[in-house]
Amino acid sequence: MAIRPIITAPDARLRQISKPVETVNDDIRALMDDMLETMYDAPGIGLAAIQIGVPLRIIVMDLAGKDEDPEPRYYINPVVLDTAEEMAVYEEGCLSVPEYFEEVERPAKCGVRYLDYDGAEQLIETEGLLATCIQHEMDHLEGTLFIDHLSRLKRDLIIRKLKKEQRLAAAE
Protein backbone atom coordinates (compact mmCIF):
# COMPACT_ATOMS: atom_id res chain seq x y z
CA MET A 1 0.00 0.00 0.00
CA ALA A 2 1.09 3.53 -0.69
CA ILE A 3 0.00 7.02 0.23
CA ARG A 4 -0.73 8.99 -2.93
CA PRO A 5 -0.90 12.76 -3.41
CA ILE A 6 -4.40 14.23 -3.22
CA ILE A 7 -5.36 16.67 -5.98
CA THR A 8 -6.81 19.95 -4.72
CA ALA A 9 -9.15 22.48 -6.31
CA PRO A 10 -9.08 24.22 -8.70
CA ASP A 11 -7.16 21.42 -10.52
CA ALA A 12 -9.11 20.67 -13.72
CA ARG A 13 -8.68 16.89 -13.26
CA LEU A 14 -11.27 17.07 -10.45
CA ARG A 15 -13.85 18.08 -13.10
CA GLN A 16 -13.41 14.88 -15.13
CA ILE A 17 -16.23 12.37 -15.29
CA SER A 18 -14.85 9.05 -14.07
CA LYS A 19 -15.11 5.91 -16.18
CA PRO A 20 -16.66 2.62 -15.01
CA VAL A 21 -14.37 -0.15 -13.78
CA GLU A 22 -14.42 -2.99 -16.33
CA THR A 23 -13.16 -5.78 -14.06
CA VAL A 24 -12.51 -5.95 -10.32
CA ASN A 25 -9.03 -7.49 -10.19
CA ASP A 26 -5.89 -7.30 -8.06
CA ASP A 27 -4.88 -3.96 -9.64
CA ILE A 28 -8.22 -2.42 -8.68
CA ARG A 29 -7.99 -3.86 -5.17
CA ALA A 30 -4.43 -2.47 -4.82
CA LEU A 31 -5.72 0.94 -5.95
CA MET A 32 -8.50 0.79 -3.33
CA ASP A 33 -5.96 -0.19 -0.65
CA ASP A 34 -3.81 2.83 -1.63
CA MET A 35 -6.89 5.06 -1.58
CA LEU A 36 -7.83 3.88 1.90
CA GLU A 37 -4.31 4.42 3.24
CA THR A 38 -4.24 7.89 1.61
CA MET A 39 -7.63 8.76 3.13
CA TYR A 40 -6.59 7.62 6.63
CA ASP A 41 -3.33 9.58 6.36
CA ALA A 42 -5.05 12.82 5.27
CA PRO A 43 -7.18 12.24 7.53
CA GLY A 44 -10.63 11.94 5.97
CA ILE A 45 -13.73 9.75 5.91
CA GLY A 46 -14.14 9.33 2.15
CA LEU A 47 -12.10 9.47 -1.04
CA ALA A 48 -12.90 9.07 -4.72
CA ALA A 49 -10.27 7.71 -7.11
CA ILE A 50 -10.28 10.93 -9.15
CA GLN A 51 -8.97 12.76 -6.08
CA ILE A 52 -5.68 10.90 -6.54
CA GLY A 53 -5.74 11.41 -10.31
CA VAL A 54 -7.35 8.10 -11.33
CA PRO A 55 -10.59 8.73 -13.29
CA LEU A 56 -12.34 5.49 -12.32
CA ARG A 57 -15.71 5.09 -10.57
CA ILE A 58 -14.28 3.98 -7.22
CA ILE A 59 -14.97 5.31 -3.72
CA VAL A 60 -13.57 4.28 -0.35
CA MET A 61 -14.78 5.46 3.02
CA ASP A 62 -14.68 4.74 6.71
CA LEU A 63 -17.16 6.41 9.04
CA ALA A 64 -15.84 4.80 12.24
CA GLY A 65 -15.13 7.24 15.05
CA LYS A 66 -11.67 8.00 16.39
CA ASP A 67 -11.87 5.41 19.19
CA GLU A 68 -13.68 2.75 17.12
CA ASP A 69 -12.25 -0.10 15.07
CA PRO A 70 -11.84 0.80 11.38
CA GLU A 71 -14.78 -0.07 9.13
CA PRO A 72 -13.46 0.37 5.58
CA ARG A 73 -16.06 0.43 2.81
CA TYR A 74 -15.43 0.04 -0.90
CA TYR A 75 -17.79 1.11 -3.67
CA ILE A 76 -17.03 0.30 -7.30
CA ASN A 77 -19.31 1.69 -10.04
CA PRO A 78 -21.86 3.00 -7.50
CA VAL A 79 -25.27 4.08 -8.76
CA VAL A 80 -27.92 5.92 -6.76
CA LEU A 81 -31.19 4.08 -7.35
CA ASP A 82 -33.51 6.41 -5.47
CA THR A 83 -33.42 9.32 -3.07
CA ALA A 84 -35.81 10.50 -0.37
CA GLU A 85 -37.74 13.71 -0.79
CA GLU A 86 -36.72 14.56 2.77
CA MET A 87 -33.56 16.63 2.88
CA ALA A 88 -30.79 16.76 5.48
CA VAL A 89 -28.09 19.35 6.11
CA TYR A 90 -24.56 18.36 7.11
CA GLU A 91 -21.40 20.37 7.41
CA GLU A 92 -19.18 18.99 4.68
CA GLY A 93 -15.49 19.25 4.01
CA CYS A 94 -13.32 17.69 1.34
CA LEU A 95 -9.73 16.52 1.07
CA SER A 96 -9.61 18.25 -2.34
CA VAL A 97 -10.86 21.52 -0.81
CA PRO A 98 -8.70 21.48 2.32
CA GLU A 99 -9.66 23.37 5.46
CA TYR A 100 -13.03 24.62 4.17
CA PHE A 101 -16.30 23.43 5.68
CA GLU A 102 -19.81 24.48 4.73
CA GLU A 103 -23.33 23.22 5.27
CA VAL A 104 -24.76 21.35 2.27
CA GLU A 105 -28.31 20.09 1.82
CA ARG A 106 -28.77 16.66 0.24
CA PRO A 107 -31.43 13.93 0.23
CA ALA A 108 -31.60 12.37 3.71
CA LYS A 109 -31.72 8.80 2.35
CA CYS A 110 -30.66 7.02 -0.81
CA GLY A 111 -30.48 3.52 -2.21
CA VAL A 112 -27.20 2.53 -3.84
CA ARG A 113 -26.12 -0.38 -6.05
CA TYR A 114 -22.38 -1.06 -6.34
CA LEU A 115 -19.68 -3.71 -6.57
CA ASP A 116 -17.76 -4.48 -3.40
CA TYR A 117 -14.04 -5.14 -2.86
CA ASP A 118 -14.39 -8.61 -4.39
CA GLY A 119 -16.58 -7.52 -7.30
CA ALA A 120 -19.87 -8.83 -5.88
CA GLU A 121 -22.95 -6.69 -6.52
CA GLN A 122 -24.45 -5.09 -3.41
CA LEU A 123 -27.59 -3.06 -2.70
CA ILE A 124 -27.87 -0.81 0.35
CA GLU A 125 -30.28 1.73 1.76
CA THR A 126 -28.42 4.61 3.39
CA GLU A 127 -29.34 7.47 5.67
CA GLY A 128 -27.62 10.01 7.87
CA LEU A 129 -23.89 10.53 7.50
CA LEU A 130 -23.50 7.48 5.23
CA ALA A 131 -26.08 8.85 2.76
CA THR A 132 -24.39 12.26 2.79
CA CYS A 133 -20.91 10.82 2.38
CA ILE A 134 -21.89 8.52 -0.49
CA GLN A 135 -23.59 11.39 -2.33
CA HIS A 136 -20.58 13.66 -1.71
CA GLU A 137 -18.12 11.07 -3.03
CA MET A 138 -20.36 10.14 -5.96
CA ASP A 139 -20.41 13.82 -6.93
CA HIS A 140 -16.64 13.50 -7.45
CA LEU A 141 -17.27 10.73 -10.00
CA GLU A 142 -19.29 13.28 -12.01
CA GLY A 143 -16.72 16.07 -11.70
CA THR A 144 -18.65 17.93 -9.00
CA LEU A 145 -17.25 19.31 -5.73
CA PHE A 146 -19.22 20.03 -2.57
CA ILE A 147 -18.58 23.74 -3.08
CA ASP A 148 -20.64 23.51 -6.28
CA HIS A 149 -23.68 23.15 -3.99
CA LEU A 150 -22.93 26.55 -2.41
CA SER A 151 -23.83 29.99 -3.65
CA ARG A 152 -21.65 31.28 -6.47
CA LEU A 153 -20.29 33.97 -4.16
CA LYS A 154 -19.15 31.46 -1.49
CA ARG A 155 -17.75 29.06 -4.10
CA ASP A 156 -15.78 31.80 -5.89
CA LEU A 157 -14.40 33.08 -2.59
CA ILE A 158 -13.17 29.61 -1.61
CA ILE A 159 -11.58 29.04 -5.04
CA ARG A 160 -9.81 32.43 -4.88
CA LYS A 161 -8.45 31.61 -1.42
CA LEU A 162 -7.26 28.16 -2.57
CA LYS A 163 -5.49 29.66 -5.60
CA LYS A 164 -3.79 32.24 -3.36
CA GLU A 165 -2.68 29.54 -0.89
CA GLN A 166 -1.29 27.46 -3.77
CA ARG A 167 0.61 30.46 -5.19
CA LEU A 168 2.10 31.18 -1.76
CA ALA A 169 3.07 27.54 -1.25
CA ALA A 170 4.71 27.41 -4.71
CA ALA A 171 6.71 30.55 -3.93
CA GLU A 172 8.21 29.04 -0.78
Which residues are annotated as catalytic?
137
**Secondary structure (3-state) at 86:** coil
Q: Could you give the CA distance from residue 102 to residue 84 in angstroms, rounded to a whole number?
A: 22
| Backbone φ, ψ for residue 99 (5° rounding) | 70, 15
**100-to-13, 37, 49, 91, 103 alpha-carbon distances in Å:** 20, 22, 21, 10, 10
**Secondary structure (3-state) at 8:** coil
